[in-house]
Structure 1
Amino acid sequence: MLIVKLQDDNFVKWSYQFSSVLRGYDLFDFFTGEAPCPPKYVIDTESGVTNEINDAYKDWVKKDLALLSLLIATLSDDAMEHVIGCKTFYEAWKCLQERFASVSMLRVNQLKT
């Protein structure tokens, strides 16, 4: 269960919580970007690309959209503004990381001084 919503000051805690859930469900490759999207169409060795949708593609899209929905559910209204328009979970994750990781590191450095 995810309880912490992403705010300006809790990216490290939120990220740890979210990545732990993904590890628990064996979906961490989506978090790291190491779960590439398979080809949309089945490729026939003789005739090339077919019109048949690849089952692996359908499964990947289903997982990715579920993760994107879960991610969005854990965002504050302010944080959600940074992922509007993102089409995949990993794209949304990278947008959040670029926005909030630097803020978190700045906060850590301020606390050290």
Structure 2
Amino acid sequence: MASSSSIKIDGLLSMVTIRLSDNNFLKWSFQLQFVLQGYELFGYFDGSIVQPPKFAILDEEGVTSQVTAGYKEWLKTNKALLSLLIATLSDEALEYVIGIKTAQEAWLNLVDRYASVSRARINHLKTELQTAQKGGDSIERFLLRLKHVRD
């Protein structure tokens, strides 16, 4: 697992060229996932990188008030990734993550919101593909238009 100290979050931001809006969730999530997976950071979003215990446990004392180094590092990286995620959102999408405390919560909120929109959009796009006509377009332009609908 990469730590936030070894990864510059602003460097990751430059790799995510798409800002999430109402009509591009699939492209945005595809790009964000691959950037984060490349640096072994997507686990903060999907929950596979689990939050470590916040407080140290000592055999003789039980739970102490001492915050663990692992938790501090996890929190630092999580907040940096949440900031990265927020920086890739449009104003409309930002409304769905206001008040969220972890990258995973933000990710799940966005998936819940936009995946349902995407299903409705898929039905619309299927109809658009089925009724597409070449018209006066060249073959290249027509195929490019179909590719855009498919994407």
Shared fold, TM over 0.5:
yes
- SS of equivalent residue, structure 1 residue 64: helix
Kindly report the root-mean-square deviation, in angstroms, between the aligned alpha carbons of the 2 structures.
0.9
Q: TM-score, normalised by structure 2?
A: 0.72
Higher relative CO (CA 8 A, sep ≥ 6), structure 1 or 2? 1
Q: Offset at 1:31? A: 2.0
Q: Offset at 1:19? A: 0.6
- SS of equivalent residue, structure 2 residue 96: coil
Separation in 1, partners of 2:104, 2:31: 16
Aligned twin of 1:40:
54
* Equivalent of residue 102 in structure 1, options 91, 116, 123: 116
Residue deviations 1:24-46, cap 9 Å, x none? 11112112112221111111122
Q: Which has the larger radius of gyration?
A: 2
Structure 1 spans left out of the alignment, 5+ residues: none
| Mapped contact 1:39–1:57 kept (Cα < 8 A) | yes
Separation in 1, partners of 2:64, 2:121: 52
* Equivalent of residue 25 in structure 2, options 3, 6, 11: 11
Separation in 2, partners of 1:90, 1:17: 17
Residue deviations 1:62-83, cap 9 Å, x none? 1100100000000000000110
Aligned twin of 2:75:
61
- Runs of 4+ aligned residues of structure 1 deviating over 4 Å after TM superposition are none
Aligned twin of 2:36:
22
Separation in 1, partners of 2:65, 2:116: 44
Aligned twin of 2:148:
none
